[in-house]
Amino acid sequence: MPQAPGTVPSRGQPTLRERFNAMRNLPPFLRQVWATSPALTLTSLGIRLVRAVMPVLMLYIGKLIIDEVVRLVGLGLDFVDLRQAWASGQLDFLLWLVLAEFGLAVLSDLLGRLVSYAEGLLSELFTNATSVRLMEHAATLDLEDFEDPELQDKLDRARRQTMGRMSLLGQLFGQVQDIVTVASFAAGLLIYAPWLILLLAIALLPAFIGESHFNALGYTLNFQWTPERRQLEYVRQTGASVESAKEVKIFDLHRFLIDRYRTLAEGFYRANRALARRRAFWGTLLAALGTLGYYVAYAYIVWRTIRGDFSIGDLTFLAGSFRRLRQLLEGLLVGFSQVAGQALYLDDLFSFFAIEPEIRSKPDAVPVPRPISRGFVFENVGFRYPDAERWAVRNLDFELRAGEVLALVGENGAGKTTLVKLLARLYDPDEGRILLDGRDLRDYDLDDLRANIGVIFQDFVRYHLTAAENIGVGQIGAMDDRERIVDAARRAMADEVIAELPGGYDQLIGRRFKTGVDLSGGQWQKIAIARAYMRDAQVMILDEPTAALDARSEYEVFRRFKELSHQRTAVLISHRFSSVRMADRILVLDQGRLEASGTHEELMAAGGRYAELFELQASGYR
């Protein structure tokens, strides 16, 4: 059930334990990064380690330069011009120091660019690899999972993480680099005033705690607003897409959609703004404590210099070291908090990968018999959708014999499509069982079972691909078999549609892309039906895929379907009784139960619901 705008699911702020527990996501994350490209990972980390010691070296050379300048000034040398000073050799050491600092500055900039280059490539590769893994895992999940709004929220968050988590790699490697730099500074400072380092660390703890707290709040906000963000994306697409453009204009829906978007966006904006204000206020206050610790250390160094304990170069080195040390310690503490926050987001990604499908092949699964000799048997089959009170189908007992053309009829909600989904094992029964040649359907290899069933549903997908590819997706392994595609199109009468396209089978169809040509509803349906003929399937199912065709075209499609389904098991679903009467046998479903079974003549003679509905429909044509 959709939520009202502004409402959020309950999810409290993650506890300290939950935040630390989220760090368990870092090892698998790093393993994925390593698997993406070991060479780029080592390159990035290695360059960062080299860069880590550069600040200490440059600062120390700066101290030497200042001490050398003070020494030269103290000598009272009286040079007439730079040439004389150069010739004297007194400036040689100073020159080498300046050149060394210049070389380190150029090297540091080069290494920084190399890090950005390596991590940029690594980020792109990781995003691509994770997106592929996400699609591969989604393909293994049950249909029931995709019909669960909570899983849709989880999938949406997981998609976001594939795009946004590579910044975590830079943070982690940056943390390693900063730790090495801190250790380098600390080693040089320990001989001067080790207690000042401890002072800085203690002074920065409040800022770390505050940052950690607000990172957790930010995660909670994004988690709670996932449904609204999905609604925002849906409203944005609905308000500006070719699929909805006609109704938006006819019904003047743009104001309604804009108002809905503004309401949702404004609510999310206000929540973000409130959090940003609190974060800015407390962040400034807590950061001031770290600044105070730095200036206490700075004042102490100045006092020691005035007393003559340190030289001017020492003062420069120590003041610069403590300033950098303060920045680094603050960055480490805040960075650790941010890494912990990012690890919470990784939980969304890994928790999606942790979802296991219930419908899968058994370890000892057997192949589907070729050919199917007896057919399918439904034994007291019942199924209820998750969280639904009413059974979709129940107490179903019937046979679908091998080589038989079976039609399913009934009003909307009678359970026709559910029955087909059970047959294709998109769902498993909650009660009873389905047998194929006397063996439970769950004993067969799932991929092999579905490879032997060709299904076209009423809500078939309109792929924005070429006409040939739209048909070829019915048997992905034969996508390049043009002869097979042409034959499938001919069987479905889609060849007439394709002959009118400017590019024929190579014509892009649909309006999503510039060169695409759109089709009518009936034309799309013929293309979709051709997909079923692409499969060398033993069982063929048409689940009301001809709704957009006129009665004559549908009759012709079904007549040809019956002819081409010779020696195959076939299932037809249609609301047009004139079409289903050609089936070998007709099942009448009502509210999920089997009400009657027989040929058209037998059902008409029985005078039940089938005869009533047939006469009701026929009267509309008289």
Least confident window among 29-33, 281-285, 601-605: 281-285
**Model confidence band, residue 614 (pLDDT cutoffs 50, 70, 90):** confident
Least confident window among 126-130, 157-161, 556-560: 157-161
Give the pLDDT of residue 377.
92
Q: What is the pLDDT of residues 193-238, one digit of tens each?
A: 666 666 666 666 676 666 666 666 776 776 676 677 777 777 776 6
Rounded distance between C-alpha atoms, residue 606 and residue 622, angstroms: 23
CA end-to-end span of the chain = 43
Whether pLDDT at 9 is above 70: no
- Provide the b/e sequence for 488-520 (b: ≥16 CB within 10 Å): bbebbbbbebbeebeeebebbbbeeeeebeebe
Rounded distance between C-alpha atoms, residue 54 and residue 56, angstroms: 6
Give the pLDDT of residue 380.
92
Least confident window among 2-11, 171-180, 251-260, 320-329: 2-11
Give ∠ CA 583-589-591 in degrees, rounded to 5: 160
Q: Please compute the mean of the pLDDT values over residues 272-279 and round it to a whole number.
A: 80
Rounded distance between C-alpha atoms, residue 317 and residue 294, angstroms: 15
**Order of strands across the sheet with 439-440?**
393-401, 375-383, 431-436, 439-440
Whether pLDDT at 431 is above 70: yes
Rounded distance between C-alpha atoms, residue 125 and residue 37, angstroms: 8
3 state DSSP class of 531: helix
% of the chain surpassing 90 pLDDT: 5
Give the pLDDT of residue 518.
82
What are the Cα distances from residue 351, in Å, to 225, 340, 367? Answer: 18, 16, 32
3 state DSSP class of 24: helix
Q: What is the pLDDT of residues 68-90, one digit of tens each?
A: 887 777 776 666 666 766 777 77
What are the Cα distances from residue 520, in Å, to 191, 327, 510, 527? Answer: 82, 64, 10, 11
Mean of per-residue pLDDT scores for the chain: 77
Closest listed residue to residue 406, CA positions, set 551, 568, 536: 568
Who's near 292: CB < 8 A, 6+ residues apart?
A: 203
Least confident window among 290-299, 380-389, 565-574: 290-299
**Model confidence band, residue 2 (pLDDT cutoffs 50, 70, 90):** very low
Angle 166-189/54-75 helices, nearest 10 degrees? Answer: 40
Least confident window among 66-75, 276-285, 293-302, 375-384: 293-302
Rounded distance between C-alpha atoms, residue 374 and residue 450, angstroms: 18
Whether pLDDT at 533 is above 70: yes
Q: Report residue 309 CA to chain centroid gap.
A: 61
Give the pLDDT of residue 597.
87
Q: What is the pLDDT of residues 459-495, one digit of tens each?
A: 777 888 888 888 888 887 888 889 899 988 888 888 8
Rounded distance between C-alpha atoms, residue 538 and residue 488, angstroms: 15
Give the pLDDT of residue 432.
92
Q: Please compute the mean of the pLDDT values over residues 249-263 and round it to a whole number.
A: 69
**Model confidence band, residue 4 (pLDDT cutoffs 50, 70, 90):** very low
Reading the block at residue 248, the tokens are: 């938006």
Query: pTM of the entire structure?
Result: 0.61
Q: Which amino acid is at 70?
A: V
Q: What is the pLDDT of residues 381-418, one digit of tens each?
A: 999 888 788 898 889 998 988 888 888 888 777 888 88
Q: What is the pLDDT of residues 116-131, one digit of tens each?
A: 888 888 888 888 888 7
Whether pLDDT at 354 is above 70: yes
Reading the block at residue 519, the tokens are: 């089709």
What are the Cα distances from residue 164, in Å, to 167, 275, 342? Answer: 7, 21, 10
Strands 539-543 and 431-436, sheet pairing: unpaired
- Alpha helical stretches, state H, 225-311: 226-239, 245-250, 254-306
| 430, 382 Cβ separation under 8 angstroms | yes
Q: Please compute the mean of the pLDDT values over residues 346-374 and round it to a whole number.
A: 83
